[in-house]
Amino acid sequence: MLTVENVTMRFGGFVALEAVSFEVNQGEILGLIGPNGSGKSTMFNVISGALKPMAGSIRFEDKEITGLSPDKICHLGIGRTFQKTTVFKAGTVLDNVIIGQCLHADTGVLKAILRPPSTRRTEQQVREKARDILSFVGLVDKENVMADGLTEEAQKRLSIAMALAIEPKLLLLDEPTGGVNLEEIDGLMALIVKVRASGITVCLIEHKMRMVMSISERIIVLSYGLKIAEGKPEEVAGNEEVIKAYLGGRYAA
C-alpha cells in the first residue's frame, strides 16, 4: 500500500532520517518504534506532506506522493493524528468530527449562502455520518460536550474520530496512548484493532512496548534516523541492535 524508499531528511547538521526504506502492507497494523529523537514523527510528517524529504521517494497505492501538499495526500486517503492531541477545544465533540468531514462535503460558498435543498441534505448526511463515527469510537454520548471538557483519553478517541472522518485507507497514529493512564490503554488498543478490522490499514508510533508488541503484525525500529530492525514483534524484541538502542550496549551482550 505504502512504499518508503531511501527517504532522507536533515535539519541543518542534524540527520533526522538517513536513507530509510520500508513498506506498509494493506490490512496490517505496523508499529514504528525507537528511542526519543530517532525520527519517527519526522517520518510521519514526510509521509503526510508536512515536510518534503531531501532525498528518496514515497508511493501510495502506486502513486508518487513525494512532496505533495498535506491536503492532496489527505484526499488520496492518508489520515493521521498527532503526538500532541489536536482537537478544536472551543467546539463540541460533534462539531469536531463534522469539521473533519468537510474534505468530502460538496458545499461551496454560493451553496452555503443560498442553502438549496441539496445543501441541507448534505448537511444532514454529514451530521449522521459524524454520529456514526462517534458511535464507532465510543463517544456518541458526548456529542454535545465541549472538546476541552473531555479527558485526555476521550480526546485521543476524538482525534481518531476526526481522522476517520476523512475516510482514510491508511491511518497514521502518532502515540495514540500517550498521556493516558494504564487502565485506559486497553480500551484504546481495542479501538485501534477495531479500526483495522473495519478495513483501514494502520501505522502507529508508540512508546508503550506492551501495547505495540501485542497489536502489531510487524515492527520497524528507528535509531538516530536509521532503520536498525524490521520484523515480527518477537523477532524485534530479541534483536541485539534494538536492545542496545533502548538500553545501552551492556544490555545487548
Mean pLDDT within 141-145: 95
Clarify whether residues 232 and 118 are in a common domain.
Answer: no
Q: Is residue 153's pLDDT more than 60?
A: yes
Q: Is residue 35 part of a domain?
A: yes
Clarify whether residues 179 and 74 are in a common domain.
Answer: yes
Q: pLDDT by residue (tens digit) across 224-241?
A: 999 999 999 999 988 999
Q: Which domain holds residue 106?
A: 88-149
Q: Which three cell numbers stand for residue 212?
A: 505495540
**pLDDT band, very low/low/confident/very high, at 250 (cuts 50, 70, 90):** very low
Q: Which three cell numbers stand for residue 132?
A: 456514526
* Spatial distance between the Cα atoms of 14 and 82, rounded to a whole number of angstroms: 22
Clarify whether residues 195 and 225 are in a common domain.
Answer: yes
* CATH at residue 20: 3.40.50.300
Q: pLDDT by residue (tens digit) across 6-34?
A: 999 999 989 999 999 999 999 999 999 99
* Spatial distance between the Cα atoms of 86 and 214, rounded to a whole number of angstroms: 26
- How much is the pTM? 0.88
Single-letter amino acid, residue 71: D
Q: Is residue 184 part of a domain?
A: yes
Clarify whether residues 140 and 186 are in a common domain.
Answer: no
Closest CA to 46 of 12, 13, 28, 22: 22
**By mean pLDDT, which of 51-55, 57-61, 106-110, 167-171 is the weakest?**
106-110
- For residue 181, the model assigns a pLDDT of 87
- For residue 248, the model assigns a pLDDT of 65
- Please report, for residues 16, 95, 106, 112, 231, the alpha-carbon distance to residue 115 in angstroms, rounded to integers and kept in the order given: 48, 19, 12, 5, 53
Query: Per residue in 127-149, is it b (16+ CB within 10 Å) or e — as a string?
Result: bebbbebbebbbbeebbeeebee
Q: How far is CA 68 from the centre of its chain?
A: 18
Using H for helix, E for strand and C for coil, what is the string for 105-142?
CCCCHHHHHHCCHHHHHHHHHHHHHHHHHHHHHCCHHH
Q: Count up the domains in the chain and report the number.
A: 2
**pLDDT band, very low/low/confident/very high, at 114 (cuts 50, 70, 90):** very low
Q: Is residue 113's pLDDT more than 70?
A: no
Q: Is residue 154 part of a domain?
A: no
Q: Is residue 158 part of a domain?
A: no
